[in-house]
Structure formats: C-alpha cells, structure tokens
Amino acid sequence: MYDIAKMGTDVDQNTTKISARNVQVYYGDTHAIKDVNVEIGARSVTAFIGPSGCGKSTFLRCINRMNDTIDVCRVDGDILIDGEDIYDKRVDPVQLRAKVGMVFQKPNPFPKSIYDNIAYGPRIHGLAKNKADLDEIVEKSLRRGAIWNEVKDRLHAPGTGLSGGQQQRLCIARAIATEPEVLLMDEPCSALDPIATAQVEELIDELRNQFSVVIVTHSMQQAARVSQKTAFFHLGNLVEYGDTSQIFTNPQDERTESYITGRIG
Amino acid sequence: MTDVSQPNSAGTPQSSLHRLDARTKRRNAAESRFKFYGIVAILIGLLMLVTLLYTILSKGTGAFSQTFVTMQVELLESKLDKSGTRDLEKIKKVTTFGYAPLIKGAFEKSVLEHGIDTDLKTKDMAKILSKSAASQLRGYVIANPDKIGETIEFRFLANSRVDGYLKGRVSRESIANDKNITAAQLDFVDQLIAAGVLEKTFNIDFIIGADASDQRPEAAGIGVAMVGSLFMMLVVLALALPIGVAASIYLEEFAPKNWITDIIEVNISNLAAVPSIVFGILGLAVFINYMHLPQSAPLVGGLVLTLMTLPTIIISTRAALKAVPPSIRDAALGVGASKMQAVFHHVLPLAAPGILTGTIIGLAQALGETAPLLLIGMIGFIASNMPETIGEGLLSPNSAMPAQIYEWAKRADPAFYERAWGGIIILLIFLISMNTLAVILRRRFERRW
Ligand SMILES: Nc1ncnc2c1ncn2[C@@H]1O[C@H](COP(=O)(O)OP(=O)(O)OP(=O)(O)O)[C@@H](O)[C@H]1O
Ligand SMILES: [Mg+2]
C-alpha cells in the first residue's frame, strides 16, 4: 500500500530545505503552535496530518509568512529556508513568497479571466518576455494543474465561474506558474473528485523532482500515497515526525496511532 | 412519541395538512399584519414624495416660460452714432437712456400697425416692458455696430407684473395697491395678446442666463450660478476623490491597527456628522482671512465643500474596501505580489463601484449644500457675469445654485419666488441625474464579474 520504493532513490531528498526551530505561534492569547521543530527535505513531499484546529494551516502559513497579514498573530522561533532565517529583518516577505508558493484551503481565484489568473504571477515577476512566452506558461501551468482540457476553450471566461474543484485546480496551476522552490498546499484536494485528486497527486509526485512540497491533508490514504515524510500535529504540538511508511505502519506515539486508526480526530 | 405522529395502521392521519392548526393561523395573521404595516409605511412615504414633487413642479414650472413683446426697432443712426463712423468707443458712450426712446417709438408704431385702440400714453405703454429692454438693445448694437440704420425685429421681456398676469399670479383685484401696473395697462396687455404682439414662450435665459437686480426679476437666470456650482464641483472632485481614496486605502490596507488609527477612525466618523456651517466658518477663517483667497470665489466654496465631502468619501471607500473578500488579498500575496500590487491590481478594481457611488453621492450632497456658502460670501452675491476663463471661473466671485435659490426666495417680489422654485427644479434634475449615474455605474462595474 505504501510506495516505499520511491524513497531513498532521490539523492537530494535528505538535504534540508526548510528547518523550523522552536516555533511558537500565538493568535493574541491563544497559543496555536507550541514549540515545533522540524526539518523538511528538499525534493520531497512532506504531509501534515492532524485533527481539525490542531494548527496545520497555521504552521504552513508561517513558512511563507502569510501570517504577517494577520494582525493578532505573532511568530517566535526560527524558520530557515536554505539556511537563511526567513524571519530575519532583511528578508522581504514579497520576495520570499515568490520562492514559496501557496495553495489555500479555500479556492480563491481572482475575479478575472482564467488566463489572467495564471498569467498574473509570471507578469509581476517578469517571467515572460513576450505574449507567446506567457501563453506558453499559462498552457503549461494549466496542464500541470490537470485542468487544461476543461478550460482551454474558455481561457477568457472568469475564473470565478468555474466549479469549486476546478477553481482549486486553477489555484494550483496559478501557484506553480511562478515556478516556486517550495510549494505549500493546504488541503488541495478537499473539493476534488477522485479523478481530479489522482491528477493532482500525480502532479505533486512530478513536482517532487523540482520542488519541496508540503501538503496538509485530512486523507490518510493521500498522505500515504504522495508523501515521503509525515508530520502529525495535535493541539498545536508536533507529536510525531518521520518517514511516512514508519508513521503509518509503526507509530511511536499513542496519539498518532489513535489518530491514524480513527480513534481520535 | 413516534407512534403519535405517525398515521395509524388504518391509514387515518392524526392531523390533516388541509386544516391549519391554531399556531399556524396565528403566525400567518402576524405575517399579514406585518405586511400591511409595511405597505402603509411605503404609501406614506410615497404620498410625501408625490406632494413634494407636485408642489415643486406646480410652483416652479412657471419660471421656465416668460412673456415677451415682439417689435420692429429701427436703429436710428442719428441717435446711436451721430458721427456715422461706427466707432465702438463713441457708440458705447450712448447710455441706455439714449436707447429708451427708440423702443418707445417702435412700440407705439407697432401698436398703431396692429390697430390696437388704447387711451394709454406711450410712456405708460412702455412701462409694461422690462427695464432690461434698453440694455438688451444696447448690448445688441455694441455687438453688431454694422446693423445701425437697419430695422431689426426684437423680442423684449415684458415686466414681471405682466408676466405674472399671464401666469395667473397677478389679477385686476390684486393690483389695487400696486404702483407698478394699472388695470388700464392690463387691458392693453389683453389687446396685445389678441394681436399676437405679446406672448408667453419658453425662456432659455432662465437656465443659461445671469441673475438680475431686484427691479428685473423677469430677466434673472440661474446659468451663472450653475457655472459657479460646476467649478466648485470640479474643485471638490479634484481634491476630495484622490485625498479621500488615498486616505482610505492607507487606513484600510496599510495602517497598523492601534490606538492612533482608532482615534483617526473615530474622528473621521465624527467629521461626517459636523454641521456644514462649521465648515463654512472654518473656510472663512482659514481660506479667506488667513490665506487671503478671494471672497465669494468658487475655489473657496470648493475647498470648504471638499472638507465636507471628504468624510463621506472616506467612509464609503473604506466600506467598499472592507467588502472585498480577504481571500483575494491572500491570493495575490500568495503568488508573490507586494501589498501595493495586491491593492491596486485586485482590491481597488473590486472596490471601484462602491468608491464611485460614494463619490457621486458625496458630490451630490456638496452640490445641494447651502449653509457653508453663507459664510464665505457666495450667498447674496449677484452672479451677473459669466466667467470667461477657467482661472476666472475659479477665482472671480460667483454664486452657486442653492445659494442663488436662497437669494431669490429671500427677495420681496413674488416673481423671484417663482424663480426660486424653478431653480429647485433644476437643482433636483442635477441631483437625480447624479444619483442615477451612480446607480448605472455601479451596475455596470458589478456585472463585470
Ligand atoms: N486568524 C486567526 N485568529 C485567531 N485564531 C486563529 C486564527 N486562525 C486560526 N486560529 C486558531 O488557531 C488554531 C489552529 O488553526 P488552524 O487553522 O491552523 O487549524 P488547522 O489544523 O488548519 O485546522 P483544519 O484542519 O480545520 O483546517 C485553531 O484553534 C484556530 O482557532
Ligand atoms: Mg487548515
């Protein structure tokens, strides 16, 4: 059931891309993330699992500093990407976010055309030299987002007019159009049917060759299928972190075991 | 419990859906009562609106037509240009007193030609004409000196009593104590109407013309005041829109949320509630007394109204920005847009309809505002000259539409009172068109997504 064969084949997999040290997150007085330490590998897929409200999204949002936009939110501790502290004063969050793309929990396409949704990122980062370039990026991203066939005839229709699942794939396509090095995905498949889910998982697997992917999911099967490492969060604590195969077959912590066997959640 | 609510085995249900139970009946009765109250409330509102519109229209439409007397005037060279050189300087030396005899002569001739039989002396005949007739003729001659010596057809305004007689405001009974007109003159007017010399027609000069002094209500128009209002609105738009939008964007999107911004926020809301007269006295103190800007100038009026409109624009712009879902900002930031790019590329376009509506409604409010103009001297000023350049339009003294209306309503002659109502019609047309524009723009923009 768990594709262990894939692991260990990639040379880069064990080099650390993101490392978090003693990360604490507070929303006002609420202590949402408690002392999390984690090393996330380059060119691999890391899954965050855990019951609702345990802080998966919060921690994910720390990695591209999206929490900066929430006034009451305070982050302590260090998060390093490629050895550089992203909470350093010299770091511009805008530059960081170009490097760390994100797919949000709720699909949030721009109220613009499908084409413009994808083209926006490349445009502001100057990734396309001309219209033909941009067209190509748009097509490529939509294909990788597993939505090209559904929208190729209506690229200039509004993105908000798509179905929920289509919108989510559009957002995935939008996030990869800027070629980030790290891709954070917050429950990207929660609104998708099994076929689209399979396509997105295929995409994640492909992205692994280039990027470091962090995915939040409520589906154990999905975590097992796509990830090499899994982190289990519970009430703001990182309870257990390790190889996916090990977490699912031989969890060390009692809470992990109850969660994956469906006893808490 | 379950077996009570279920039909029994024989198939007879415990309760019928065709019979209303007492509770449902009471609920339905309450609902119909509430609907009835609502309809009554709307009817009361509509009744007031209809009364208002009926009053305004019935009192104001008269201002749009005016009584004119048509006659052929011979522009005698011997009177107007004795030297015969057509030298403008010399022609200008002839005052309106020099023109009056020409009109009297022409009027008398016209009366004879039409076979009108009257006992009135020429002097009394000419009294039914407006005092503006001579200056109208003089103005024409100065503009067209080459026409001297020819006979030209003129349409002179009748005086306001005659006009009032045609509009039913003046009757033979009401003039018993009136020194300005006699019953004999009214008889003469009847004869003139029969002969087709005197008639009441649409008067474009009320809309485009200038205000006139107390003695000539028939010649007064709202046009110059309208231009004054236009220049004020330009000032308001040019200042309040950019300042208001910039302030709102900063407060809503960039400013940290702390006690300083809280205080600013509260004060902006308070500012919106400050009586407009306060802004007027502020304008007087700051713009006129301290900065020495000219009195009665639309620029000053515009500055004062800008102060007044700013809170309206800021509040509506902030509301429009707030209404944009935060997920759009997240989406933009998530692909690496800067805060400013997120705001200008995504948030502002979505907020634009709300901002536009707020701005237009703020402008409409400013257009109808009267009190602050009182203090900066735009009320009581007789707006008699059209500005010729934009600079003059901004800086030379002028009036504004509501100020002009107030001014007319204040004057003693009932003919001015009618013009005040006419002015209100014009002002309302402006306000209604602006509000319609706001609605149309909002619909237009909203449909895009
Ligand atoms: N903007 C916020 N302001 C205050 N508290 C917040 C905010 N966002 C999240 N929280 C709190 O932080 C905790 C973690 O929330 P988070 O969204 O990270 O959970 P999650 O693990 O992603 O849950 P789910 O699986 O339901 O998405 C929750 O208790 C939540 O109430
Ligand atoms: Mg979440």
How do beta strands A182-186 and A100-103 pair?
parallel
**Pocket of ligand 1 contains residue A46 by CB under 6 Å:** no
Give nearest CA residue, ligand 1 atom 28. Answer: A53
Choose the CATH number for B223-445 among 1.10.3720.10, 2.30.30.40, 3.30.930.10, 3.30.70.3280: 1.10.3720.10
Q: What pLDDT sits at residue B1?
A: 43
Q: Determine whether the interchain pair B345/A108 forms a contact, defined as Cβ–Cβ distance below 8 Å.
A: no
Q: Is the pLDDT reported for residue A10 higher than 70?
A: no
What angle, rounded to 10 degrees, do the helices at B133-143 and B96-113 form? 110
Q: What is the mean pLDDT of residues B255-271?
A: 89
B245 vs B359: CA distance, rounded Å: 10
Calculate the average pLDDT of chain B: 88
Q: Could you tell me which residues come within 8 angstroms of residue B14 by beta carbon, excluding any fewer than 6 positions away?
A: B4, B5, B6, B7, B8
Q: Determine whether the interchain pair B336/A158 forms a contact, defined as Cβ–Cβ distance below 8 Å.
A: no
Q: Could you tell me which residues come within 8 angstroms of residue B41 by beta carbon, excluding any fewer than 6 positions away?
A: none
How distant, in Å, are the alpha carbons of A61, B347, B438 from that of A104? Answer: 9, 18, 36
Query: How crowded is residue B359: how many other Cβ atoms within 10 Å of its Cβ?
Result: 23
How do beta strands A237-243 and B151-157 pair?
unpaired
B149's tokens: 């010596």
B282: left (phi > 0), else alpha (psi -120 to 50), else beta? alpha
Give nearest CA residue, ligand 1 atom 11. Answer: A32
Task: Give, for ligand 1, the residue of A23, A57, A233 to mutate: max count of ligand atoms closer than 8 Å to Cβ.
Answer: A57
Q: B310, B311, B303, B312: which is closest to B280 by C-alpha?
A: B303
Q: Could you tell me which residues come within 8 angstroms of residue B166 by beta carbon, excluding any fewer than 6 positions away?
A: B67, B158, B189, B193, B200
Q: A84, A39, A42: which is closest to A65 by C-alpha?
A: A84
Q: What is the mean pLDDT of residues B31-57?
A: 96
- At residue A26, what are phi and psi to the nearest 5 degrees? -120, 135
Q: A213, A214, A221, A216: which is closest to A260 by C-alpha?
A: A221
Categorize the per-residue pLDDT at B442 as very low, low, confident or very high, splitting at 50, 70 and 90: confident
Are B68 and B157 within 8 A, CB to CB? yes
Q: Is the pLDDT reported for residue B4 higher than 60?
A: no
Q: Could you tell me which residues come within 8 angstroms of residue A73 by beta carbon, excluding any fewer than 6 positions away?
A: A25, A26, A27, A67
How distant, in Å, are the alpha carbons of A195, A209, B218 from that of A199? Answer: 6, 16, 82
What angle, rounded to 10 degrees, do the helices at B348-368 and B414-446 form? 180
Atom of ligand 1 nearest to the CA of A105: 27
Q: What pLDDT sits at residue A3?
A: 45
Name the residue type at position A245: S
Q: Could you tell me which residues come within 8 angstroms of residue A18 by beta carbon, excluding any fewer than 6 positions away?
A: A38, A39, A40, A63, A79, A80, A81, A182, A212, A214
Which residues are found with C-beta within 5 Å of the ion, ligand 2?
A: A 57, 105
A146 vs B344: CA distance, rounded Å: 30
Q: What pLDDT sits at residue B75?
A: 86
Q: A43, A40, A124, A45: which is closest to A86 by C-alpha?
A: A40
Interface check A95 vs B, CB under 8 A: yes
Q: Determine whether the interchain pair A160/B449 forms a contact, defined as Cβ–Cβ distance below 8 Å.
A: yes
Calculate the average pLDDT of chain A: 88
B203 vs B386: CA distance, rounded Å: 18
Task: Give residue A53 CA to ligand 1 midpoint distance, Å.
Answer: 5
Q: What pLDDT sits at residue B209?
A: 86
Tell me the pLDDT tens digit for each residue of B224-261. Answer: 999 999 999 999 999 999 999 999 999 999 988 889 98
A91's tokens: 């770091």
B133 vs B434: CA distance, rounded Å: 37
Interface test with B, best of A61, A63, A97, A178 (most B CBs within 10 A): A97
Q: What is the mean pLDDT of residues A125-150?
A: 91
The C-alpha of A124 sits at a distance from chain B's nearest C-alpha, in angstroms, of: 7
CA B387 to chain centre: 18
Task: Give residue A216 CA to ligand 2 midpoint distance, Å.
Answer: 8
Q: Which residue has the higher pLDDT, B447 or A61?
A: A61
Q: What is the mean pLDDT of residues A177-185?
A: 92
Q: What is the mean pLDDT of residues B152-177?
A: 87
- At residue A32, what are phi and psi to the nearest 5 degrees? -90, -30
Specify the domain boundaries for CATH 1.10.3720.10 within chain B.
Answer: 223-445
A207 vs A191: CA distance, rounded Å: 21
Name the residue type at position B10: A
**Burial category of B368 from C-beta neighbours within 10 Å (exposed 0-12, middle 13-18, buried 19 and up):** middle
Q: What pLDDT sits at residue B3?
A: 46
Tell me the pLDDT tens digit for each residue of B342-379. Answer: 999 999 999 998 899 899 989 999 999 988 888 888 87
Q: What pLDDT sits at residue B10?
A: 58
A204 vs A211: CA distance, rounded Å: 9
Q: What is the mean pLDDT of residues B47-55?
A: 95
Q: Could you tell me which residues come within 8 angstroms of residue A137 by beta carbon, excluding any fewer than 6 positions away?
A: A118, A119, A122, A127, A128, A177
Q: Give a three-class secondary structure readout of chain A.
A: CCCHHHCCCCHHHHCEEEEEEEEEEEECCEEEEEEEEEEEECCCEEEEECCCCCCHHHHHHHHCCHHHHCCCEEEEEEEEECCEECCCCCCCHHHHHHHEEEECCCCCCCCCEHHHHHHHHHHHHCCCCCHHHHHHHHHHHHHHCCCHHHHCCCCCCEHHHCCHHHHHHHHHHHHHHCCCCEEEEECCCCCCCHHHHHHHHHHHHHHCCCCEEEEECCCHHHHHHHCCEEEEEECCEEEEEEEHHHHHHCCCCHHHHHHHCCCCC
Tell me the pLDDT tens digit for each residue of A189-224. Answer: 888 888 888 888 988 898 888 889 999 999 999 999
B64's tokens: 């749009």
Q: What pLDDT sits at residue B123?
A: 84
- At residue A126, what are phi and psi to the nearest 5 degrees? 65, 40
Q: Is the pLDDT reported for residue A185 higher than 70?
A: yes
A27's tokens: 């929303």
Q: Is the pLDDT reported for residue B422 higher than 80?
A: yes
Tell me the pLDDT tens digit for each residue of B316-325. Answer: 999 999 999 9
Are B384 and B210 within 8 A, CB to CB? yes
Which residues in A lie closer than 8 A to residue B333 (C-beta atoms)? Answer: 66, 69, 94, 97
B84 vs B416: CA distance, rounded Å: 42
Q: What pLDDT sits at residue B344?
A: 94
Categorize the per-residue pLDDT at A11 as very low, low, confident or very high, splitting at 50, 70 and 90: very low
B423 vs B419: CA distance, rounded Å: 6
A207 vs A227: CA distance, rounded Å: 12
* Side-by-side strand order, sheet with B65-74: B151-157, B65-74, B198-202
A223 vs A235: CA distance, rounded Å: 19
Q: Determine whether the interchain pair B334/A64 forms a contact, defined as Cβ–Cβ distance below 8 Å.
A: yes
Helix, strand or coil, per DSSP, at residue B379: coil
Q: What is the mean pLDDT of residues B49-63?
A: 92
Q: What pLDDT sits at residue B448?
A: 54
ipTM of the complex: 0.88
Rounded to 10 degrees, what is the CA torsion of A74, A78, A80, A85? 80
B343 vs B252: CA distance, rounded Å: 10
Q: Which domains does chain A have, with CATH numbers?
A: 4-260 (3.40.50.300)
Query: How crowded is residue B205: how many other Cβ atoms within 10 Å of its Cβ?
Result: 17
Long-range interactions of B48-53: CB distance < 8 A, separation 24+: none
What is the percent of chain B where pLDDT is above 90? 38
Q: What pLDDT sits at residue B119?
A: 83
B230 vs B241: CA distance, rounded Å: 16
Categorize the per-residue pLDDT at B13 as very low, low, confident or very high, splitting at 50, 70 and 90: low
Q: What pLDDT sits at residue A264?
A: 62
Q: What is the mean pLDDT of residues B125-137?
A: 87
Q: Give a three-class secondary structure readout of B181-194.
A: CCHHHHHHHHHHHH
Rg (CA), chain A: 18
B301 vs B315: CA distance, rounded Å: 22
Q: Determine whether the interchain pair A110/B329 forms a contact, defined as Cβ–Cβ distance below 8 Å.
A: no
B53 vs B114: CA distance, rounded Å: 42
Give nearest CA residue, ligand 1 atom 5. Answer: A27
Tell me the pLDDT tens digit for each residue of B364-417. Answer: 999 999 888 888 888 777 777 788 888 888 888 888 999 999 989 988 888 899
Q: Is the pLDDT reported for residue B328 higher than 60?
A: yes
Task: Give, for ligand 1, the residue of A25, A58, A61 to mutate: max count of ligand atoms closer than 8 Å to Cβ.
Answer: A58
Tell me the pLDDT tens digit for each residue of A78-133. Answer: 999 998 999 989 999 988 999 999 999 888 999 999 999 999 999 999 988 899 99
